[in-house]
Amino acid sequence: MKYAHPRPNTGNRSEGSLSWVPGLFAVCFVTILVESVMTFYRCRAASDALEDALSGCAMAAALIDVQIYGSTHDLVIGDAMAARDRYLDALREDLGLDAQMQPGPGSLIDGPVSLELFCVYDLRGSELIQTALYPDGRSGQTTGIAGVLTAPNGQPVPSAGIYGEISFPVRLPFGIRVMARKSQLVTVNERNSI
């Protein structure tokens, strides 16, 4: 005995019964687009806030030696290691990092922040002396003329100052994780304004 299987009825479909597929596609597309735009503006606002934080950290580190300034009018920050320690302390405070440079919960930063390069610029007359400190413990000095010597980001250095460059991972939507870098140069002029 043979069993007969009923065939599906395909002739009774109403108009527009598949219109939900393009509609679902449109909803998914708009959702992804809105999430991407929101992430872009969130990252842009975080980038602006991070630039302000790096400027504040550099200002905290840029302490001019008043004895040298009083006798020679040279703008000398001096001890690069002490300046870097002040910079790192201010960075931890401004970004809400713990002692291991890890961010707190809810941060856009998704891992440890590392100081990739730290430079101190001392101005003696018109000569600018750059002391660079690297994360592996190396250091180096370069001399140049104020306004001609450039920071690692290509910006001319007109006076004494601090340059800091940090890197950190950022978590984006859909599980994407990228490494970001941010740098900032802050200079001090003789009129006591930064």
Nearest to residue 85, comparing CAs of 41, 110, 105, 115? 115
Maximum CA extent, the chain: 115
pTM of the model: 0.75
**Stretch (H or E) spanning 103:** none
Low-confidence ranges of the chain (pLDDT < 70): 1-19, 190-194
Q: What is the 3-state secondary structure (H, E, C) of 66-84?
A: HHHHHHHCCECCCCHHHHH
Confidence (pLDDT) at 193 = 44
Please report, for the chain, the start and end positions of each structural domain, with discontinuous segments joined by +: 23-188
Residues across the chain? 194
Token look-up 């806030």 returns 49
